[in-house]
Structure formats: C-alpha cells, structure tokens
Amino acid sequence: MAELSTSAIQTDYMAQVRQKRIMNTILLVVFIALMLGGFATANDRNAGGFWNGLPMLLDFPADVISEAYSRAELLPGYFVKYFPSLIETINIAAASTLLGGLLGLVMSLLVTRGLAPVPWLIGPLRRVLDVLRAVPEIVIALVLIFLLGGGPVPAMIAIALHTVGALGKLFSEVNENASLKPVEGLESVGAGWTQRMWLGVIPQVAPNYLSYGLLRFEINIRASAILGFVGAGGIGYDLRNTMSWGQGKFDEAAAIFLLLFFTIVVVDQSSSYLRNRLTHGSAKGKIHA
Amino acid sequence: MSMASLQASTATNFQRKRLMGFAVPAVILAYFAYIFVAFDMGGLAERVSLENTRTLVSDAYSYKTHVTRDNRDGGVSIAIEGERKGRYAEGTAPEWVALGTETLVDLGDDHIVTFGETLVTYDIPGYGMIVTEPGRTGVNATFPTDEIPEWINASKNRVSITTDAGRLTVTRNRSEVFRYAMGWELFFFTLDSPYHGMGFGTLLSHAANGEAGAIWSDFWANKMWRHADVAWALFETILMAFLGTFGAAIIALPLGFLAAKNFTPLGGVRFAARRVFDFLRGVDGLIWTIVLSRAFGPGPMTGSLAILLTDTGSFGKMFSEALENVDGKQIEGITSTGAKPLQRYRFGVIPQITPVLLSQVLYYLESNTRSATIIGAITGGGIGLLLTQAISTQKDWEEVTYYIVLIILMVMMMDTFSGWLRRKLIKGDEAGH
C-alpha cells in the first residue's frame, strides 16, 4: 500500500471534521426545534399562557410574604403548631426509607449474581424491582388512601415500595463489587447463606449502603411532603388546607413553607456531610486492621 | 505495640462490635415500635375498607352490566357499568336478556331474574323463588324460607340480594340487576360501533376490505376508554419531563461556570450562584408547583417549569462540581495554540465535561417522567390528571388499573430510552475524539 502523504491525511481529517460538524449542527437544530415546538405545545395546552402568567408569577409569593410580614409576631406560634405535622412528615420519610432499605437489602442479595441463593429467581426478581422503581409513589398512595383511609400509613407504604425498587438496584450494584473471598472462607467453614451474607458481604458494603440510604432519605422527605398534599397526612396536608382556605391563612402557609424549606436544607446538608464521611472516611474513625 | 496491648485493643474492638450487633437492630426495632404507635397501625384494621378493596379488585379485571327497570313507567335500560356511554340502544340487549312485556335476565347457573308487570322475582337454584312487589308504599317481599339468609338484605323500602351469579336490588322506584363478567368489555369498541363484538379475524378481513380507517377511528374515538385522550396525556407527561430536564440543563450550564472555583475567581459571584442553587433545590418541587400553578394555571407548561426550576438547582450543583474536576492541561494546551477564551471553553472544557453532564441529564430524564406524573396529579396535566380523575370517581377502577399499567410502561420505556441514548452518545463521543 502506498504511503499516505501529509496532505492526504490532512484532507481526510478535514473531511471527517466537516462531517462531524454537519452532524452536530443537524442534531443541534433538531434539538432546538424540539424544545421550541415543545414549549409552544405545552403553552397552548396550559390553562393560562406563559406570557400572560409571567407578570403574575410573583403575585402569590408577594401575597404570602406580605401577609406573613404583617403578622410576623404570629409566626413562632405557627411553627409550634405545625411542628407535630413536620415530625409526621419526617417520620413517614424515615420509616419508609428504613423499611424500604431493609427490604431492598434482602432483594439486592437475591438478585446479585454469585450471591443469590436461587439463581433462576434473579431475572424475575429484577423485573419486580424495575416495576417497583417505575411506579410513582403518588399512584400507590392514592389507591391505598381509598382502601385504608387518609393518614401516614398509605404514604409510608407507597414510598417504601418505591424505595425497595430504587435501593434494591443500587445495593445490588454495590454487591457486585464486593469481594467474594470472605464469602468463600465462610462457606468453607460451613456457614449458611444468611451467615455468609451477614458476616461476609454486609460488613464490606455497609458504608455504601448507608450512603445511598441517606441520599434516599433526602428524596423521601420531599416525596412525603408531596404525598401529604394529596391527603396522606403530615405537613403537606396542612399546607393544602391553609392554602385552600382562601385569603387570610397565607401567614400559616408561609410558616409551613419555611418549616419545609429549612427541613429540606438541614437534611440535605447533614446527609451530604455524613455521606462524605462514609465514602472518604473520617480522619480517625477507621478501626485499624 | 506489645502483644498484650494489641490483644487488649482487639478485645475491646470485638466487644464494641458485638455490642453494635445488638444495638443497631434494637434501635431499628424500637423506632418501628414508635412508628407503630405514632401512625396508629393498631387501628388500621378497623379503618381498612373491605368493601372498597373488593370493589377495586373485582373492577380491575371484570366489568358489570346493569339491567335497570324504572318501576314507575316500566322502561328497561341496559348499560355496561351503568354508564350512559355504555348503554345498549333501545330494543337491543345482550343474549342473556330477553326483552318483552316480561323481561327475563339469565344470570347463568340457572339464576333467573324476571321483571314482571308488577312483580320482580329471582329464582335461585337450591334456595327457591324470591318474589318482590315494589310499589308506592314500599317493597313487599316474600321469601321461600322463614329465616332470611345473610346475603339478603331486606327492609321496608329496599331489598338487596347478592349471590355469586350477580346482584339484584329492588327499591320503590327501581329494580336493578348486576351481572359480572371477565375483562374490559368496551376497551376496543363501544356499543354504538359496528365493530363491537367482532373477533380479531373478522376485524382483519374488514380492515383488508378498506375499512381500516373506520375501524381505527372507532377505536381511537372510543368514548369509554378515550384512547386518543390517554395517548395525548402520556405525550404531555413525557413532554413535561423533556422540557423540564433539558431546559434546566441549558440554564444550569452557564450558571455552573459561575459557581466553579477554577472559572470564577470572584468569591462573591461564586457564593451567590451556589446559594441560588441551594435555594432552588431547597424550595421543593411541590412548592414550585403551587407557586407556578397560581400564575400559569394548570397544564403541562406549569409542570415543565416546576421541573425546570428544581432541576436547575440540582444540575447547577453537579455541573459546577464536574467543572471543578476538569483537567487543566487540556485547556493549557489549547491556550498555547493561541486560542481565545471562547475557543478555550469550546475545545478545552466542553469535550471533557460533555459525557459527565449528558449522563447526569439523561438519568434525570427518567426520574422526571415520574415527577411529571406526580406534578400532573397535583396541578392537573398529563396522565397524572387522568389518574386522579379516575380515582376520584371511586368506581372506574378498571381505568385506574389501565392508567397505572401505562404509567409503569411509560417510565420503563423512558428508562430504556435514556439508557440507550446515554450509551450511544457517550460511546460515540469517545470514538470521535
């Protein structure tokens, strides 16, 4: 084969670059068209148009803030009044994370190749996790509210089910990276499946599990507030009530907004601090081998 | 370290581990006990509505046909699920109903209900004939046995008989029979369509004879299941997720540069950008949805903007972290060739972060499909709205089941799609460098 001259390489390279640029431009144009067309469609289907609504965007927050400001002395009282609801919302999130995490842990061990006690169940159980992950919490919650009545239990079950799906998958990815040597060691001394998992796998993966669990807790706090809004108790329920009371209760709504905001910020910050410590390890926390 | 002290420290470590092995499960158990009390789980058994559960489960896989007689004028109407949209045309009836001066309803297994001129009778095999006479003063009923079994509920103004075959309710003004059957009867065609009740093969031959368009439009415009509306609602939900996710990514990218240490030397700007992200994320999607729906009304635009605002915060934070991790050497190399600042970004930074950003954005696309369903249920838009509407009627559980299945399929499809796109784009990018 004849040697390629520099100029031939250059023309070839330039042609490739040009082709890639054309492709990128086409993709970009298609993307922009999709975005613009999408916004136009969404705008048409909306009850109020974007440009009509834009000037009113700040009306509601302004109402809430002005009302809260004019009755600022009542706010601490409202914080006390709605604190139990906030606790309920946090409890829903915590209980469902814990419950979902524990079930997710078992599920993850059942769907990890090499660890699963029943290999042919891996496929079906993974599909179960996929479905659990795909169902939005609100769907299960609304159906359960019909069956069980309002209150925190439907929300807890709904969020826990979704959590099983989400954490089960993440945990099983963690399990795949776990070393099998301790498991083999335990097997050689006659340990059963539960013992192998509990003593051989869990200690390896626990920090990662905890880190994912904390991340999930952040997400679940938000979910539990939303589910309250559709009737499942907690602070979301109070928020809807204070808002649907019409004028005159916006100061209470403002108090709930603030409570929710600070809770989310505090949980986010502390969980991200804890997760950092879990993944990178604290300076002295490591138990020496 | 001496042998003895090593042994001592190991022993304490073991002690601590052993203690933890009991303490952690104990704490978890104690917490669950507290939750059990706080959420009043004990009282749950009383609150469970078995009636609702039964309706829900049976509705999900079966349908019922109502045969109703107006006792005042003697008019008989037959309707699937008792809905006007599922009503049989005047003079027509399914084969188990014989219309005439006397209407005979065959519930199967020799259960026969007769709407006579004045009397309504129910012949139950193994029990006997129940005769009721609805009139102005109430419902007179005679039973074959003196003792009335528990599946019959009789009072002065109302007699209700529930058997395995169906259910008969007689009041002063109305006599009504329910007959249950498997499946979702009107799913493909409503009764006013000529294609109702045709087998698949017959339909195919009709379609081959040039009726495909008519068949499709009858199916698509089905008044009971509203396939066109449902398809549109699904599209709207995906649209919300798409606009919200990519809109947020477009806005968050420049803001991400402002919040990254290596691109914005001004501490004040960086601080401000980061607090904006924290604020957007801290004010939850729920609150954004409420605020936005006050201004823009219900609909997909409100939903996309709510997703956009929340995710701008998340993306901004992630993008700025990705930007802080870029390799400075590549930028130096580009600078050494005399590139201007914009070119340095274009060729030195963007190629490094594109795979990271794209994969994060596409992860969010899938989870936002779920958020869009939830936001739709709160503000009213997309499949979430249809779902809440169907649930609030408390009787269209077959539709609820259908929507839930569609939602699950939609989310799984988006998951597969975004995963495929991620592999395709990121692999393509690596090869193209």
ipTM field: 0.84
Asked if residue B425 has pLDDT above 80, the reply is no
- Which residue among B52, B296, B407 sits closest to A136, beta carbon to beta carbon? B407
Chain B positions in Cβ-Cβ contact with residue A98 (cut-off 8 Å): 28, 31-32
For range A51-69, the mean pLDDT: 83
Torsion of CA A61, A63, A69, A75, to 10 degrees: -80
Closest Cα to residue A260, out of A225, A210, A217?
A225
In the predicted structure, residue A86 carries a pLDDT above the cut 90:
yes
Tell me the average pLDDT across A114-121. 89
Average pLDDT, chain B: 84
* A100 contact B CB<8A: no
Q: What share of chain B has pLDDT > 90, as a percent?
A: 18
- For B244-273, write each residue's pLDDT tens digit: 999 999 999 989 988 988 888 888 888 899
Distance (Å, rounded) from C-alpha B338 to C-alpha B3? Answer: 65
Region B420-431 average pLDDT:
70
CB contact under 8 A, A135 and B38: no
Nearest CB to A59 within list B239, B295, B404: B295
Asked if A136 and B295 come within 8 Å (Cβ–Cβ), the reply is no
**Where does the pLDDT of residue A96 fall: very low under 50, low under 70, confident under 90, or very high at 90 and above?**
very high
Token pair, residue B185, equals 């009867």
Quick one: pLDDT at residue A247? Answer: 59
Percent of chain B residues topping a pLDDT of 70: 98
Does A237 contact chain B (CB < 8 Å)? Answer: no
Mean pLDDT over A168-186 rounds to: 91
- The answer to whether the beta carbons of residues B78 and B87 sit under 8 Å apart is yes
In this predicted structure, what is the pLDDT of residue B134?
Answer: 81
User: Please, which pLDDT band fits residue A128 given cuts at 50, 70 and 90?
Assistant: very high
Q: Where are the domains of chain B?
A: 62-182, 227-432
Q: How many CB pairs lie under 8 A apart between chains A and B?
A: 181
Predicted local confidence at residue A114, as pLDDT: 85
CB contact under 8 A, B296 and A88: no
A49 and B CB contact within 8 Å = yes
For the cut 60, the answer to whether the pLDDT of residue A1 exceeds it is no
**Which residues in chain A have Cβ-Cβ distances shorter than 8 Å to B287?**
257, 260-261
Checking if the pLDDT of A3 tops 80, the result is: no
- What mean pLDDT is reported for chain A? 87
Shortest CA distance from A230: residue in chain B: B378
Chain B residue numbers with beta carbons less than 8 Å from the beta carbon of A91 are 35, 38-39
- Candidates B223, B231, B232, B233; CA nearest to B377 is B233
Within the 385-414 window of chain B, which residues sit less than 8 Å (CB to CB) from chain A? Answer: 387-388, 391, 394, 400, 404, 407-408, 411-412
Is pLDDT above 90 for A132?
Answer: yes
Predicted pLDDT of residue A287: 42
Contact assessment for residue B350 and residue B356, using Cβ atoms and an 8 Å cutoff: no
Select the highest-mean-pLDDT range: A90-99, A108-117, A219-228, B393-402. Answer: A90-99
pLDDT at residue B95 greater than cutoff 80: no
φ, ψ for residue B65 (rounded to 5)? -110, 130
Q: What number is the average pLDDT over the span B352-360?
A: 86
Q: At B293, list the tokens.
A: 């729906």
Residue of B nearest to A54 (CA): B295
Check B295 against A153: CB less than 8 A apart.
Answer: no
Residue B71 has which token pair? 């006792």
Asked if pLDDT for residue B193 goes beyond 70, the answer is yes
Mean pLDDT calculated for residue range A162-190: 92
Cα A89 from Cα B170, distance rounded (Å): 47
Residue A231 near chain B (CB below 8 Å): no
The least confident of A149-153, A282-286, B394-398 is A282-286
Amino acid at A26: I
Contact with chain B for residue A252, Cβ under 8 A: no
Strand partners for B129: B123
Greater pLDDT, B303 or B156: B303
Q: Looking at residues B117-131, what average pLDDT do you find?
A: 81
In 3-state terms, what secondary structure has residue B298?
A: coil
Among B28, B239, B374, select the one facing A226 at the smallest CB separation. Answer: B374
Query: Phi/psi class of residue B81: alpha, beta or left (left: φ > 0; alpha: ψ in -120 to 50)?
Result: left
Position with higher pLDDT, A88 vs B282: A88
Q: Which of A152-166, B66-80, B178-192, B396-410 has the highest mean pLDDT?
A: A152-166
Within 177-216 of A, beta carbons closer than 8 Å to B belong to: none
Which of A134, A225, A264 is closest, CB to CB, to B408?
Answer: A134
Question: pLDDT digit string (tens) for B164-174?
Answer: 778 888 888 88
Q: Is the pLDDT of residue B20 over 90?
A: no
- CB distance A47–B296 less than 8 Å? yes
Local confidence band at B433 (pLDDT 50, 70, 90 cut-offs):
very low
Which range has highest mean pLDDT (A60-74, A109-123, B388-402)?
A109-123
pLDDT at B280 > cutoff 80:
yes
- Shortest distance, CA B68 to any CA of chain A (angstroms): 28
pLDDT for residue A246: 61
B407–A261 C-beta distance less than 8 A: no
For the cut 70, the answer to whether the pLDDT of residue A289 exceeds it is no
Residues 145-184 of A with CB under 8 A from B: 146-149, 151-153, 156
> Residues of A with CB below 8 A from B54's CB?
none
Cβ of B300 and A95 within 8 Å? Answer: no
B86 has a pLDDT exceeding 80: no
Say how many residues make up chain A. Answer: 289
CATH code for the part of the protein at B227-432: 1.10.3720.10
Question: Which pLDDT score, from 0 to 100, does residue A282 have?
Answer: 53
Report the amino acid identity of residue A17.
Answer: V
